[in-house]
């Protein structure tokens, strides 16, 4: 099944690209080195950087920190859902508290998790979303 990016490597396999938007350097570092080989991770520390990265390449999955940067993950997710190039990108929203889950769903998140989240759980969730053809609301804590 082809993901959002549609990029194919030289062996004919789909390249999984993950865009992580967070202003937390610890999350950025964990994510950058937590994925297996063959997964390309782009890190943006605010929505402006995220838009610059998405102008060049549509990610397979976006991991957005709800409380991040100048506009936050909520605003970025909402804007992505209105953009024809990005509307099918599954979004994993990282939340500070469970009470924000409704907002994450309203913004178009396919999945949300409460921080802190271990690297292995994040990688598992992202890889699962990368295999999704369409958004499905699977909200678990």
Q: How confident is the model at residue 26, as a pLDDT?
A: 86
Within a domain: residue 60?
yes
Within a domain: residue 14?
no
Structural tokens at position 124: 């598992």
Within a domain: residue 6?
no
pLDDT along the chain (141 residues), means of 10: 54 83 89 87 94 97 84 89 96 93 93 90 93 44 40
Q: How confident is the model at residue 1, as a pLDDT?
A: 34
Q: How far is CA 139 from the centre of its chain?
A: 15
- What residues pair up with 8 in beta bridges, in sequence order? 14
Domain containing 45 — which CATH number? Answer: 3.40.50.2300
Residue 67: which of 35, 86, 41, 45 has the closest Cα?
45
Structural domain span for residue 107: 20-130
Secondary structure (3-state) at 6 = coil
Residues contacting 70, CB < 8 A, separation 6+: 46, 47, 48
Residue 99: which of 139, 55, 50 has the closest Cα?
139
Q: How confident is the model at residue 94, as a pLDDT?
A: 94
Within a domain: residue 1?
no
CB distance 135 to 65 below 8 Å: no
Residue 47: which of 85, 73, 83 has the closest Cα?
73
Domain count, the chain: 1
């Amino acid at each position: 099944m082809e993901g959002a990016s549609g990029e194919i490597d030289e062996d004919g396999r789909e390249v999984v690209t993950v865009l992580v938007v967070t202003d937390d350097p610890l999350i950025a570092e964990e994510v950058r080195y937590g994925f297996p080989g063959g997964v390309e991770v782009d890190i943006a520390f605010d929505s402006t950087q995220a838009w610059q990265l998405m102008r060049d390449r549509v990610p397979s999955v976006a991991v957005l920190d709800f409380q991040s940067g100048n506009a936050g993950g909520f605003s970025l997710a909402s804007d992505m859902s209105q953009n024809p190039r990005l509307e099918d990108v599954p979004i994993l929203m990282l939340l500070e508290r469970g009470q924000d889950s409704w907002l994450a769903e309203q913004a178009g998140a396919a999945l949300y998790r409460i921080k802190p989240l271990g690297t292995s759980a994040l990688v598992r969730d992202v890889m699962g979303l990368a295999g999704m053809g369409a958004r499905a609301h699977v909200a678990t804590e």
